[in-house]
Structure 1
Amino acid sequence: MAGETSQGKSLEALLSGRLSDGGIACDRRGFLRGAAVLAGAAGFGILPAKPVQAGEGRGHGLSFFGDLKYPAGFARFDYVNPDAPKGGEVATQVASWAYNQNPSTFNTLNSYVLQGDGAYGMSLTFASLMGGTLDTIDNLYGFVAEEVEVSGDGRTYRFFLNKAATFHDGSPLTAADVIFSIETLKTDGHPSIALQLQHVEEAVAEDDRTLRIVYAEGTPGSIPLTVAGGVPIFSAAWWKGRDFKATLSEPPLGSGPYKVKDFTFGRTIRFERVKDYWAVNHPTMIGSTNFDIVRYEFFRDRNTAFEALKKGTTTFREDHSSKSWATAYDFPAFKNGEVVRDIVPDGSPSGAQGWFMNMRRPKFQNPLVRQALAMAFDFEWANANLMYDTYKRTTSFFENSDMKATGEPSPEELALLEPLKAEIPPEAFGPAILPPVTDGSGRDRKVLRAVQDLLKKAGCTREGDRWLLPGGEPLTFEILDDDNVFEPIVGSYFSTLKLIGIPANFRLVDAAQANARVRDFEFDMTPFRSSMPVYPDNYFKLIFGSEAADQQGSRNLAGIRNKGVDSLIGTIIAAKTRPDFVNACRALDRVLRAIYPWVPHWYSGTHKLAYWDVYEHPETLPPYGVGLLDIWWLNKDKAQKLGKGI
């Protein structure tokens, strides 16, 4: 759901939520929007500013590709309303999460560790050295750090901190606090965070306002930007004597634009805007963080969440249910115009969403079996009969972007694939693999025959009305989920499988149990969504790399272990130009699709918004996010009239 702002957000921005019918990555312009953008779209009608480059002295920003959009001394971001009024409340729900977060509940205020179910929104309370934008793909601008200087070899970054930066109690935010944050997350943080911070070789406070960070030789180019724009800054003094990994029931001292106002574990948490915030007039904050109160509500199921919007318990919702969008807006508040809807184009890559198969389990280790199971899903029937023809079929891990592989491999892609011929499936050298397009009947005979032919080729045998794996075990599986929104679609998939003798089960468990089982890889299949970075980022290792396959809490849910994939990830991370990066991503896409680790789902390409008519935003929205907390504000006259948002 719409969510967190750019400043003070964590590495969480690099990781996206699990689902969409689907899920959404939080709206926060924070670090290089890993879920965010169609590459090559930066630079919107102004002369570009020069980013700091290795060995060229201090600069006000960092950029992975190309130049910075905003020059030194810029007044504000182009897409904000600098005169947006402050005040009011926005109440929404959780539909995107990362690390230990759980969309249905929470039992700790620390969302940066593996343990517990972390509260959503805590990154609102922490600042970072730098922050990104909603109108560029890879720009970072100074925040806590006013300027940055990069050594000639690109390994050493010196940050010059803003003297005005403080924590919420007025104590100064110093280089020692940044070092404490890095070291704490490196040793005790969630594995997905700690893995990236292992590249930090040294962090030194030259003085209270000067920080030097040295990275190990061979560190991926994205890691320094991740640290600059993604590490939340904790108070070393506040955490002294406290166990970072223990359950946290006391709001920690923060450094961001909001602080925790109150909460009830498992139900709701409210954040209040820090009125005397040190950065209230900072160029990156002008026109932003306009709500006095931000409230997140937690619900066990989506029907209850929708009822909350109807009643006004929540006031803003991004609707990911095609059924509710098509049929459920018939309640009085919508009919009389108190609740309004809007469809906003989504310029972000849609990424990868599907049911991911746990290839650690023997039943899924034969690629032909995986291919057969993927082929059996009749998307055309489900889209027409269950999703109101509102979706397009996902075919790529880089869907809706120029990183998606299409047709035959280009010469540039082949140059990357040929040396890996012994490690990757031969199908990667042919046309990019696509799921079949069925006749929409739910029982396309041609497709079902192809599914069974694949099973025979895999060594499976038919015994009566069921299929047996080569070892003699029945071919059956379970889809694990903590939300019943997919149940009708799962049911249609299972009905097709049943026609050919493959029984399957839908296991619905509570969110905490699902979170724990996915974290420990105790599942057959589970739905998952991840948008891909649009720059050479270490996140590719976290989601597809062999090293992450057995790492508890890893995003490599399928358990992909492939030397060719690892090699291509290395090429992606080492890319120095945009074309090199795109070609490597396309090559990786071909290989991943040929591995068949998933049953691909669908995507929309738009944001479907429903909200009480008390909120407003600039006429033109930025391309890479709804920006609820970045650019929206409350119309106080409307709020008084409707009694909402006040």
Structure 2
Amino acid sequence: MMINVRHPLLRIALLALGCLAGAALASPRHALTLYGEPPKYPAGFSHFDYANPDAPVGGTLRQAGFGSFDSLNPFISKGVAADDIGLIYDTLAKGSLDEPFSVYGLLAEKIEPAADNSWVRFHLNPAARFHDGEPVTAEDVVFTFNTLITQGAPQYRAYYADVERVEAESERRVRFIFKHNRNRELPLILGQLPVLPKHWWEERDFNSGNLEPPLGSGPYRVERVQAGRSIRYTRVEDYWGKDLPVNRGFNNFQHLVIDYYRDNSVALQAFKAGQFDFWLENSAKNWATAYDIEAVFDGRIIKEEIENHSPTGMQGFIMNLRRPLLQDRRVREALGLLFDYEWTNRQLFNSAYTRTRSYFDNSELASTGLPEGEELRILEPLRGQIPEEVFEQEFNPPKTDGSGIIREQQRKAYRLLTEAGWRVENDRMVDTQGRPVRLEFLLAQTEFERVLLPYKRNLADLGIELEIRRVDVSQYINRLRSRDFDMIVSGFGQSNSPGNEQREFWHSSSADNPGSRNFIGLADPAIDTLVEQLIGADSRKELVNHTRALDRVLLWGHYVVPNWHIRTWRVAYWHHLEHPESTPETDIGLMTWWKRPAVPVQAVDPEQAVDPMEAEGVER
């Protein structure tokens, strides 16, 4: 399962427990869970616990976007789609944010899985309508699925690879038939399919990434677009699903406005000047020092840390194995040794972070100690294909004393590089072909340069040139899609129920797909085996063991220089916003917030106004 605050995708399947249990599981129901356990919310539930069904409706939520956008089609690998465009679409089912992995009917009022997990059937709600009043039908579902796997971004073909076909059985009944019954999460993944209107798209080029507002069926529609600068959504007053249990307490703002900034430092100044309402703070330095302003002292801006119970995933300096310089594991390990996290955390982050030591940190899915029991049984057949350290050592990132002097790490890195055939000539490191070693670090965020500059100096001490190449967001995305980079800083977000999305991260089938998140370029049969076994896990315990095994192999491959994480979301918002007392465990839940009716929106002082497209000018 993959969760993204603005673009969610989720997953599930069944457990057959004999003939009687199998018959019961095959009946249509309001919700599905991954291993057949009862869902938290029974049939007829009124609303999710983290939503306030009595929240007032109205007002405008103003947010900031980063960079720019040139498309309103988020389903293709062309252009940069506008933030929150997914809010104009409804999906077949909606995931709960306070369960590991459960989905509840949305466009589909009932979901019917096969007892043997060979297919899943969705019974569409007869009230479901697109914004033009046309009903949502099974033909729309078939059209959407077939269009995404034939014309959509490559990730869809990989994500739905285990689906044999989809068929419309009647106007409001659609069935997906699977290639095999070993993918337990597939019915839930299909539940997260956004449904597109066939009658609207048949008259248009699906691969044209233009700015024509699409037709949807969701709670919002596009109201106004300023190309690359701003997008405004408005609440659909006659939205067909507003009273469904999965929607009560959601979508409380009458309007959503996103203004784009090319620099996050400029955006922060705009937030403090009252030009937008909500800010997710990713800088520890800013959180500690940038909010010493009157608006915070007098309570007009609220700073809050909201607990995050999801795995933090892996953020790091990602190395592209498609580059010959980075294909030797000893080289990658050496580059990891030259990052002084302890100094960085103390000097740049006010010691606010924890070093990431797992691709599934902050969860039971993270590997610890040495493999044993079932986990060792999973790994043993791969001995000789994976690093021997997997069996002999617990992985821990290198640790310094935080002084900024890393001679011991540099000596070890030098030994690894010489073992890989590199050497120093005329104070410059050269590779096995005698060519000077030069790496390019591709970057879109100006504020991250201060993290990379000390790393650059550490590499220079060994004669390695690191060029920090900052580009605009559009160029950055295009270069990512074409895999035109040596190193980037990015992350692999994880959920409490990893599954099909792991193919997009690590599997050889995604290595050459320009839309996948296999940034590393992994195409390793051993890792493929672990990914497929994880996807086919039959119980929570089995899933945990397979995830830990995969985690160990990824860590000892030294594909990423691990960065850091924090176990909370740091949010700042103007006091005219309010959120439910109970927040979801795995999300900020921004669409459950509302505007306080009696509190006016902060007026913007014209002298403090900041141009959203300004690129420079604010010290971080």
Amino acid at match of 1:89: T
How far did 1:52 drift?
Answer: 9.4
**Do 2:158 and 2:510's aligned partners in 1 also have CA atoms closer than 8 Å?**
no
Q: Does 2:339 align with 1:377?
A: yes
How far did 1:55 drift?
Answer: 5.0
How far did 1:444 drift?
Answer: 2.0
Distance (whole Å) between structure 2 residues aligned to residue 26 and residue 558 of structure 1: 23
Distance (whole Å) between structure 2 residues aligned to residue 54 and residue 385 of structure 1: 59
Distance (whole Å) between structure 1 residues aligned to residue 466 and residue 168 of structure 2: 57
Distance change >3 Å, CA 311–CA 450, structure 1 → 2: same
Distance (whole Å) between structure 1 residues aligned to residue 10 and residue 241 of structure 2: 21
**Do 1:407 and 1:432's aligned partners in 2 also have CA atoms closer than 8 Å?**
yes
Amino acid at match of 2:2: L
**Do 2:182 and 2:536's aligned partners in 1 also have CA atoms closer than 8 Å?**
no
Amino acid at match of 1:60: H
Q: Does 2:2 align with 1:14?
A: yes
Amino acid at match of 2:317: W
Q: Does 2:466 align with 1:466?
A: no
* Residue of 93, 97, 104 corresponding to 1:141: 104
Three-state SS of the structure 2 residue aligned to 1:354 is: strand
How far did 1:67 drift?
Answer: 2.4
Aligned to 1:85: 56
Aligned to 2:163: 200
Aligned to 1:74: 45
Distance change >3 Å, CA 87–CA 369, structure 1 → 2: same
Distance change >3 Å, CA 54–CA 92, structure 1 → 2: farther
**Do 1:111 and 1:120's aligned partners in 2 also have CA atoms closer than 8 Å?**
no
Between 1:284-293 and 1:444-453, the stretch displaced more is: 444-453
How far did 1:538 drift?
Answer: 1.2
Aligned to 1:498: 460
Aligned to 1:356: 318
* Residue of 569, 581, 584 corresponding to 2:543: 581
Amino acid at match of 1:26: V
Query: Tell me, which stretches of 5 or more residues in structure 2 are unaligned?
Result: 13-20, 606-620
**Do 2:89 and 2:217's aligned partners in 1 also have CA atoms closer than 8 Å?**
yes
Aligned ranges for residues 406-485 of structure 1 at < 5 Å?
406-485=368-447
Distance (whole Å) between structure 2 residues aligned to residue 456 and residue 255 of structure 1: 60
* Residue of 53, 56, 64 corresponding to 2:26: 56
Aligned to 2:614: none
Distance change >3 Å, CA 181–CA 54, structure 1 → 2: farther
Q: Does 2:319 align with 1:331?
A: no
Three-state SS of the structure 1 residue aligned to 2:598 is: helix
How far did 1:199 drift?
Answer: 2.8
Distance change >3 Å, CA 640–CA 191, structure 1 → 2: closer
Distance change >3 Å, CA 389–CA 168, structure 1 → 2: same
**Do 2:414 and 2:462's aligned partners in 1 also have CA atoms closer than 8 Å?**
yes
Three-state SS of the structure 2 residue aligned to 1:506 is: strand
Distance (whole Å) between structure 2 residues aligned to residue 129 and residue 554 of structure 1: 23
Distance (whole Å) between structure 2 residues aligned to residue 447 and residue 634 of structure 1: 52
Aligned to 1:343: 305
Aligned to 2:230: 268
How far did 1:247 drift?
Answer: 2.3
1:603-644 Cα deviation digits (max 9, x unpaired)? 011111111110111222221111011x21110211268689
How far did 1:515 drift?
Answer: 0.6
Distance (whole Å) between structure 1 residues aligned to residue 498 and residue 268 of structure 2: 38
Amino acid at match of 1:143: L
Distance (whole Å) between structure 2 residues aligned to residue 581 and residue 195 of structure 1: 20
Three-state SS of the structure 1 residue aligned to 2:526 is: helix
Distance (whole Å) between structure 2 residues aligned to residue 598 and residue 31 of structure 1: 25
Aligned ranges for residues 213-224 of structure 1 at < 5 Å?
213-218=176-181, 220-224=183-187
Aligned to 1:394: 356
Report the RMSD for the aligned CA atoms in angstroms: 2.0
Three-state SS of the structure 2 residue aligned to 1:355 is: strand
Distance (whole Å) between structure 1 residues aligned to residue 369 and residue 543 of structure 2: 18
Distance (whole Å) between structure 2 residues aligned to residue 203 and residue 74 of structure 1: 30
**Do 2:22 and 2:115's aligned partners in 1 also have CA atoms closer than 8 Å?**
no
Distance change >3 Å, CA 369–CA 643, structure 1 → 2: closer
Distance (whole Å) between structure 1 residues aligned to residue 241 and residue 93 of structure 2: 12
**Do 1:33 and 1:533's aligned partners in 2 also have CA atoms closer than 8 Å?**
no
**Do 1:353 and 1:529's aligned partners in 2 also have CA atoms closer than 8 Å?**
yes
Distance (whole Å) between structure 1 residues aligned to residue 556 and residue 377 of structure 2: 18
Distance (whole Å) between structure 2 residues aligned to residue 637 and residue 148 of structure 1: 42
Amino acid at match of 1:508: R
Aligned to 2:15: none
Aligned to 1:42: none
Distance change >3 Å, CA 53–CA 592, structure 1 → 2: farther
How far did 1:219 drift?
Answer: 5.8
1:429-469 Cα deviation digits (max 9, x unpaired)? 12232111101122222222111121122222122322222
Aligned to 1:5: none
1:510-552 Cα deviation digits (max 9, x unpaired)? 1111111111110000011111243251111110011111221
**Do 1:478 and 1:507's aligned partners in 2 also have CA atoms closer than 8 Å?**
yes
* Residue of 156, 159, 175 corresponding to 2:138: 175
Distance (whole Å) between structure 1 residues aligned to residue 23 and residue 282 of structure 2: 41
How far did 1:500 drift?
Answer: 2.5
Distance (whole Å) between structure 2 residues aligned to residue 622 and residue 119 of structure 1: 25
Distance (whole Å) between structure 1 residues aligned to residue 430 and residue 395 of structure 2: 27
TM-score normalised by the chain length of structure 1: 0.89
Q: Does 2:516 align with 1:554?
A: yes
1:95-153 Cα deviation digits (max 9, x unpaired)? xxxxxxxx411111101101111111111000011101121111100111111112232
* Residue of 239, 242, 253 corresponding to 1:280: 242
Between 1:545-554 and 1:83-92, the stretch displaced more is: 545-554
Aligned ranges for residues 289-328 of structure 1 at < 5 Å?
289-328=251-290
Distance (whole Å) between structure 2 residues aligned to residue 189 and residue 147 of structure 1: 27
Three-state SS of the structure 1 residue aligned to 2:475 is: helix
* Residue of 104, 112, 117 corresponding to 1:154: 117
Amino acid at match of 1:172: P
Aligned residues: 597
Aligned to 2:615: none
Distance (whole Å) between structure 2 residues aligned to residue 53 and residue 400 of structure 1: 38
Distance (whole Å) between structure 1 residues aligned to residue 333 and residue 164 of structure 2: 43
Three-state SS of the structure 2 residue aligned to 1:118 is: coil
Amino acid at match of 1:32: L
Distance (whole Å) between structure 2 residues aligned to residue 510 and residue 609 of structure 1: 26
**Do 1:409 and 1:431's aligned partners in 2 also have CA atoms closer than 8 Å?**
no
**Do 2:370 and 2:392's aligned partners in 1 also have CA atoms closer than 8 Å?**
yes
**Do 1:338 and 1:642's aligned partners in 2 also have CA atoms closer than 8 Å?**
no
How far did 1:33 drift?
Answer: 8.0
Three-state SS of the structure 2 residue aligned to 1:179 is: helix
How far did 1:14 drift?
Answer: 3.0
Three-state SS of the structure 2 residue aligned to 1:527 is: strand
How far did 1:27 drift?
Answer: 5.7
Amino acid at match of 2:39: L
Amino acid at match of 2:263: D
Overall identity of the aligned pairs, in %: 38
Aligned to 2:585: 623
Amino acid at match of 1:72: A
